[in-house]
């Protein structure tokens, strides 16, 4: 059977990671992989996480299964983090299942959608996170795209986006990035969120909100503002969240899939289907990551510590955006990079061509995805001069 298989191409980002690791240039810079890095190029374990892990090690009393929905206290804390004191929570319309990371949440959502409406099409932004399309197609769903990022003007194609979404059939799914759009960094403002929310209600499509970077844009509450506006407006909503970035729990694979239904009875029915999906994929989620998050959010001291660490990461990212813009201008680069300052989160498109990207890798050991998407957090005050000089050299020749 195996002999009939044909090799598949390596994921571009994973291939870039491997090439970077093998590169012996002492000045090499990895701007490809999408993880937060500190000034030393490390992805640190947060102090709040360390303390929560120590508490868990001391107090864990069993290794038994934790149930299909996972840690129920964690699920409740995630609902509060996403929605605050929202009326949907007060009306008992919200149900959540713990999942193996944000990717697991999306796959669970995809299978749930398939059971609700096997003919549903999922609409995603152009561009979107590379794995979105394959996740939905793997569940047998059709995926289409709607206009979003304006490559030429480094902004949003909002009018084109709305015109396309007006044509989406009732019952289809529209995926929206809550904040820190991956890969462009361009987010909807509050008025635009209101427009999308009203359109969803009018047209009858179901929003699916992917919130993988809450707290990396403006603040925990501000980054969830669009999600909460949608929840104010529509009867049904799916939310896929991740703790990989804001808690730094990348390898613990901890996320959640949250459903908002029109009433408590419908929420219960929907939850039974959601848990049936979970049972058919991985049966029970792992405990460690959820226990860490729950421990932090159950402690005023640890929550305060986490907020401070999250603020530090966000402030660093935003500062790096300004640093990149100013450093490139100081090197005499003619191309306007001021758009970097208007974006949120870790990602941005530099807007350079493939030949220039290849030169940066070959001549300077600076690793960038072929689309020119860069992880801003890969830059530091130590390597910014080297990076800016390299980009200036490549662009000015």
pLDDT tens for each residue of 314-332:
999 999 999 999 999 999 9
Pick the closest to residue 102 from 175, 158, 155, 37 (CA basis). 175
pLDDT tens for each residue of 7-39:
988 777 878 888 999 999 999 999 998 899 999
Annotated catalytic, 129?
yes
User: Percentage of the chain surpassing pLDDT 90?
Assistant: 95
Per-residue model confidence (pLDDT) at position 314: 97
Per-residue model confidence (pLDDT) at position 58: 96
pLDDT tens for each residue of 183-196:
999 999 999 999 99
What CATH code is assigned to 65-298?
3.40.640.10
CB 112 within 8 A of CB 238: yes
User: Which among 123, 129, 193, 306 is annotated as catalytic?
Assistant: 129
Per-residue model confidence (pLDDT) at position 290: 98
Q: b/e per residue, 356-387, with b = 16+ CB within 10 A? A: bbebbbeebbbbbbebbbbbbbbbbeebbebb
Per-residue model confidence (pLDDT) at position 13: 80
Annotated catalytic, 263?
no
Per-residue model confidence (pLDDT) at position 33: 86
Per-residue model confidence (pLDDT) at position 95: 98
Q: Compute the distance between CA of residue 291 and CA of residue 247 in angstroms, rounded to an integer.
A: 12
Annotated catalytic, 291?
no
User: Which among 245, 291, 306, 325 is annotated as catalytic?
Assistant: 245
Question: Which stretches of 144-247 are DSSP H helices?
Answer: 158-165, 190-203, 220-223, 225-233
Q: b/e per residue, 284-311, with b = 16+ CB within 10 A? A: ebbbebbbbbbbbbebeebeebbeebbe
Model's pTM, two decimal places? 0.96
Mean pLDDT of 107-113: 98
User: Which among 30, 172, 187, 210 is annotated as catalytic?
Assistant: 210
Per-residue model confidence (pLDDT) at position 306: 98
CB 36 within 8 A of CB 45: no
Examine the pLDDT at 397 and tell me if it is beyond 80: no
Per-residue model confidence (pLDDT) at position 14: 79
Q: Compute the distance between CA of residue 96 and CA of residue 71 in angstroms, rounded to an integer.
A: 10
Segments making up each domain of the chain, as ranges? 10-45+302-396, 65-298
Task: Say yes or no: domain 10-45+302-396 is CATH 3.10.129.10.
Answer: no
Per-residue model confidence (pLDDT) at position 15: 83
Q: Compute the distance between CA of residue 296 and CA of residue 303 in angstroms, rounded to an integer.
A: 5
Mean pLDDT of 371-394: 96
pLDDT tens for each residue of 132-183:
999 999 999 999 999 999 999 999 999 999 999 999 999 999 999 999 999 9
Per-residue model confidence (pLDDT) at position 273: 98
SS3 assignment, position 383: coil
Q: Compute the distance between CA of residue 351 and CA of residue 332 in angstroms, rounded to an integer.
A: 17
């Amino acid at each position: 059977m195996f002999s009939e298989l044909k090799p598949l191409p390596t994921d571009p980002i994973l291939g870039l990671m491997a090439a970077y690791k093998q590169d012996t240039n002492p000045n090499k810079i990895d701007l490809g992989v999408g993880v937060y890095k500190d000034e030393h190029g490390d992805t640190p374990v947060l102090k709040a996480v360390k303390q929560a892990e120590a508490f868990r090690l001391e107090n864990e009393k069993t290794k038994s299964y934790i149930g299909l929905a996972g840690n129920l206290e964690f699920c409740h804390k995630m609902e509060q983090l996403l929605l605050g004191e929202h009326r949907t929570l007060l009306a008992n319309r919200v149900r959540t299942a713990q999942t193996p990371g944000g990717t697991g949440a999306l796959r669970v959502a995809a299978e749930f959608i398939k059971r609700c409406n096997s003919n549903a099409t999922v609409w995603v932004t152009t561009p979107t996170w590379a794995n979105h399309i394959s996740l939905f197609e793997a569940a047998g769903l059709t995926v289409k795209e709607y206009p979003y990022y304006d490559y030429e003007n480094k902004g949003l194609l909002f009018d084109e986006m709305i015109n396309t979404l007006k044509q989406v059939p009732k019952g289809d799914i529209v995926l929206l990035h809550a904040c820190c759009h991956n890969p462009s960094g361009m987010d909807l403002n509050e008025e635009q969120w209101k427009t999308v929310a009203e359109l969803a209600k009018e047209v009858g499509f179901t929003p699916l909100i992917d919130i993988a970077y809450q707290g990396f844009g403006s603040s925990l509450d501000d980054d969830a503002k669009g999600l909460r506006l949608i929840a104010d407006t529509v009867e049904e909503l799916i939310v896929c969240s991740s703790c990989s970035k804001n808690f730094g729990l990348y390898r613990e694979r901890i996320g959640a899939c949250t459903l908002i239904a029109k009433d408590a009875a419908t929420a219960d029915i929907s939850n039974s289907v959601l848990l049936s999906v979970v049972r058919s994929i991985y049966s029970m989620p792992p405990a460690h990551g959820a226990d860490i998050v729950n421990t932090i959010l159950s402690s005023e001291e640890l929550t305060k510590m986490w907020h401070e660490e999250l603020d530090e990461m966000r402030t660093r990212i935003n500062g790096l955006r300004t640093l990149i813009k100013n450093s490139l201008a100081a090197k005499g680069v003619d191309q306007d990079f001021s758009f970097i300052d208007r974006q949120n989160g870790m990602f941005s498109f530099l807007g350079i061509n493939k030949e220039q990207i290849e030169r940066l890798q070959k001549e300077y050991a600076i690793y960038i995805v072929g689309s020119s998407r860069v992880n801003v957090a890969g830059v530091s005050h130590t390597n910014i001069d080297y990076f800016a000089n390299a980009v200036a050299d490549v662009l000015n020749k």
